[in-house]
C-alpha cells in the first residue's frame, strides 16, 4: 500500500479506493481501460481517444493545444453552434418537374416566392441544373438567378425531348 502524509504530520497507508484516485490524478493514462496489444484497431483507438477526451475535459490548456493542430477555419466551425434547420426544402421546388408539369410561368412564380439567393442556388443544385452566364456570378441578382434556373430547365427539357425522338 502507498504511504500518504496526513495533515497532522503522521504517515499511514491509503485505502485502495484512495490509491486509485491518486493514480488517476497522477497519470490519467493508467486509469483508462487497458486494451490488449492484440485487440482490434478500433478498440485501441477508442481507448486512446477516451484518455485524450478525459484530459481535454479536465485541462483547458491541453484542449486548446489539441485544437491548435487544426486550421483556424476548422476550429471556428467546431466552436460555433450549428445553425438550426430553416425548414426550407429545395426538393419541393424541383425546377425541371415544375416546368414539365405546369409550364414556365408557374416555375417563375414559384421561384419568385423564394427569399434568398442561397435558396435559389440550392434549388438549382437540387434540380441538377448548372447556372451559367450572369446567374453563375456570386454577385448575381435574384432575378438573374431565376432567369438562369428557367433557362437551364428549358435547355434540359429540350435535350430530353430531342433524346426521346
| CA–CA distance, 16 with 42 (Å, rounded to integer) | 31
Each residue's pLDDT tens digit, 61-119: 888 888 777 766 565 665 555 566 667 888 889 999 999 999 999 999 999 999 999 99
Q: Strand, coil or helix: what is 33? A: coil
Our CA dihedral for 143, 149, 150, 153, rounded to 10 degrees, sits at 180
pTM of the full structure: 0.49
The larger pLDDT score, comparing residue 56 to residue 142, is at: 142
pLDDT of residue 39: 80
Each residue's pLDDT tens digit, 16-59: 566 555 555 555 444 445 666 678 888 888 888 899 889 888 99
| CA–CA distance, 143 with 52 (Å, rounded to integer) | 52
Amino acid at each position: 500500500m502507498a504511504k500518504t502524509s496526513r495533515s497532522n504530520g503522521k504517515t499511514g497507508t491509503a485505502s485502495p479506493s484512495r490509491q486509485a484516485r491518486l493514480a488517476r490524478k497522477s497519470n490519467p493514462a493508467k486509469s483508462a481501460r487497458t486494451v490488449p496489444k492484440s485487440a482490434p484497431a478500433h478498440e485501441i483507438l477508442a481507448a486512446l481517444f477516451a484518455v485524450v477526451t478525459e484530459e481535454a475535459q479536465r485541462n483547458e490548456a491541453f484542449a486548446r493545444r489539441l485544437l491548435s493542430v487544426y486550421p483556424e477555419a476548422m476550429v471556428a466551425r467546431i466552436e460555433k453552434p450549428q445553425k438550426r434547420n430553416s425548414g426550407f426544402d429545395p426538393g419541393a421546388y424541383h425546377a425541371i418537374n415544375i416546368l414539365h408539369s405546369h409550364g414556365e410561368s408557374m416555375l417563375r412564380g414559384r421561384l419568385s416566392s423564394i427569399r434568398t439567393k442561397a435558396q435559389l442556388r440550392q434549388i438549382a443544385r437540387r434540380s441538377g441544373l448548372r447556372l451559367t452566364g450572369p446567374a453563375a456570378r456570386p454577385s448575381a441578382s435574384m432575378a438573374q438567378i431565376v432567369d438562369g434556373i428557367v433557362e437551364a430547365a428549358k435547355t434540359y427539357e429540350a435535350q430530353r425531348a430531342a433524346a426521346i425522338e
